[in-house]
Amino acid sequence: MLSPRFLLLRSAASVTTRSFCSGGVSKPGRAPDMAEGNPLLHVSNVRNRLREIVGASTNWSDHQQAMSERVSLSSMLAKSQSDLPAKRMKDSYLEVHLPLGSEPQLREKYLTFHNTVRFGRILEDLDSLAVLISYSHTYNGALKRSPLSIVTALVDKIDMRQHIIYPDCDIKFTGHVTWVGKTSIEAKMHMSQFHNGAYSPVLDATFVMVARDPENKRAAYVNPLQPEGPEEEQLFLEGEANKIRRVDLSTASLLKVAPTDEERKIVHSLFLNTLDTKTVSFRSRLLPPSSVWMEDAKLKGLEICHPQERNIFNRIFGGFLMRKAYELGWANACSYGGGRPSLVAVDDILFQRPVEIGSLLLLSSQVCYTQGKNIQVRVHSEVFDPLTRHHNTTNVFHFTFVSDRDVPNIIPMTYGESMLYLDGKRHFSQTVE
Ligand SMILES: CCCCCCCCCC(=O)SCCNC(=O)CCNC(=O)[C@H](O)C(C)(C)COP(=O)(O)OP(=O)(O)OC[C@H]1O[C@@H](n2cnc3c(N)ncnc32)[C@H](O)[C@@H]1OP(=O)(O)O
């Protein structure tokens, strides 16, 4: 679904003759709509808007006061979903600009050493946008503040449609709600970049957001969604199918059930390939040529969760967690493959529990599956409480990278590692399907 305004911008963009983004061209990658000062939502205003919607504090010292003010909004929550008016997809449609071409001072924050765009920053922007889209869907003009606390539950999928993101070309995000349950919302977003005189697609993302009460303690109803026309009906049906697929995937998780017959054969064949034929022993294992033991393909990190990284509900911002996990995963893929890997897909990032401010966040990345030039990386994050010494998983992230060369085969040694390998293979197959 495209709004008339979006169509107008696309046609304006298509008349320019600028060829490509390079440092030598004046005002490279500056889209006409940005150049003419079109008053569209600037990426840096998304978070300010979110703060206004929920009444979040701008100073950490005021956060308790802001939180207690929000508690009083509980009485504004709907008692059932049918008490809320149905919304259309266009009610939540948003278009946000990241003018890297028009605003050179903005580039610094997004720039990598290799003169590409930091994908971790894009993940942060997508997360904020998904939240704003969800608030647009649940907007109630009669209320000054929204009583809902909308959090990211899952990044279902991010498909890269091109690997290069230019650091000096304007970027545009668009998106809207495509499906709702009772308390959950699916938002689809698209990112495109102004290049060769027109916007071309860079990525498609699907996030699932969950609405909670003002204290973020229990689920809260969201407005139903009324699709209009066959295109929107189709999006809604896909959302329904996505929900069923997620349930099926979680039911078939290798943490709950045994691998399939075919998967068992794969694990056994990997095992046989590592046996030392000279010793006829189950215990003596040899690494096959051009291979790496899984144990040797890990990279770990620690984050101290400072107030600066808080979200509007005074927990750690999901986008920050994604950025940190992505950068660790990328560094691991980089050191594993020996080249500079590009991201192919992000899938199934699960936000299992919130990360409190002040937490010690342990991030652990593992290359878990390889095929040709492809590297599948899993990043696990957990908070560690130094007083109780308890560890609690908060997130699991899955990233698929492609290297510029063939990479060594990753080989599991233990049964647990074999399950990680199969899980990685399942995720990889999903992304290349
Ligand atoms: C100021 C600058 C920053 C501005 C940016 C603001 C951005 C704010 C966004 C964030 O940063 S959020 C931070 C990252 N996310 C989190 O910390 C969430 C951590 N996870 C949780 O708190 C819980 O796991 C969660 C609330 C997501 C789910 O809790 P429950 O498992 O108890 O949920 P419940 O069983 O009550 O189900 C509620 C709904 O969620 C759905 N759900 C739960 N887990 C899901 C999942 N994994 N995938 C899809 N849907 C899921 C579930 O189907 C159901 O939908 P329906 O009512 O529509 O049927």
**Greatest mean pLDDT range, 49-63, 172-186, 382-396:** 172-186
Q: Are 364 and 380 in contact (CB under 8 A)?
A: yes
Ligand 1 atom nearest 153 alpha carbon: 27
Of all protein residues, whose CA lies closest to atom 53 belonging to ligand 1? 184
**CA–CA separation, 262 and 268 (whole Å):** 10
178 lines ligand 1 (CB under 6 A): no
- Which tokens in the block code for residue 260? 């399939």
- From residue 59, alpha-carbon distances to 51, 62, 303, 319, 389 in Å are 11, 6, 21, 20, 31
**CA–CA separation, 183 and 248 (whole Å):** 20
pLDDT tens digits along 109-167:
999 998 999 999 999 999 999 999 999 999 999 999 999 999 999 999 999 999 889 99
- Which tokens in the block code for residue 272? 């046989």
Per-residue pLDDT at 31: 62
Give the H or E element holding residue 160.
strand 149-160
Ligand 1 atom nearest 47 alpha carbon: 4
Burial of residue 79, with CB atoms counted within 10 A of its CB: 0-12 exposed, 13-18 middle, 19 or more buried: exposed
Q: Are 315 and 355 in contact (CB under 8 A)?
A: yes
Per-residue pLDDT at 38: 43
In this structure, the dihedral spanned by the alpha carbons of residues 260, 263, 269 and 273, taken in order and rounded to 10 degrees, is -140
Burial of residue 301, with CB atoms counted within 10 A of its CB: 0-12 exposed, 13-18 middle, 19 or more buried: middle
Q: Of the residues 138, 210, 253, 398, which should be mutated to test ligand 1's pocket, given the most ligand atoms within 8 Å of the CB? A: 210
Per-residue pLDDT at 30: 64
Ligand 1 atom nearest 219 alpha carbon: 36
- Which tokens in the block code for residue 316? 């750690």
Distance 154 CA to ligand 1 centre (A): 7
**CA–CA separation, 57 and 406 (whole Å):** 49
Task: Tabulate helix, strand, coil % of the chain (nearest 5).
Answer: 35, 30, 35
Q: What is the ipTM of this complex?
A: 0.96
pLDDT tens digits along 180-236:
999 999 999 999 999 989 999 999 999 999 999 998 889 999 999 999 999 999 999
**3-class DSSP state for residue 76?**
helix
Q: How many CB atoms lie within 10 A of CB 254?
A: 17
Distance 57 CA to ligand 1 centre (A): 22
Per-residue pLDDT at 16: 25
pLDDT tens digits along 324-368:
999 999 999 999 999 889 999 998 899 999 999 999 999 999 999
Using only the alpha carbons of the chain, give its radius of gyration.
23
Burial of residue 330, with CB atoms counted within 10 A of its CB: 0-12 exposed, 13-18 middle, 19 or more buried: buried
- From residue 264, alpha-carbon distances to 251, 267, 376, 412, 422 in Å are 18, 5, 20, 13, 9
Q: Strand order in 171-180's β-sheet?
A: 41-42, 94-98, 171-180, 184-195, 198-212, 149-160, 342-351, 390-402, 374-385, 360-371, 298-304
326 lines ligand 1 (CB under 6 A): no
pLDDT tens digits along 69-102:
888 899 999 999 999 999 999 999 999 999 999 9
- Which tokens in the block code for residue 364? 């652990």
Distance 209 CA to ligand 1 centre (A): 6
Distance 129 CA to ligand 1 centre (A): 16
Single pTM value for the model: 0.89
Distance 285 CA to ligand 1 centre (A): 43
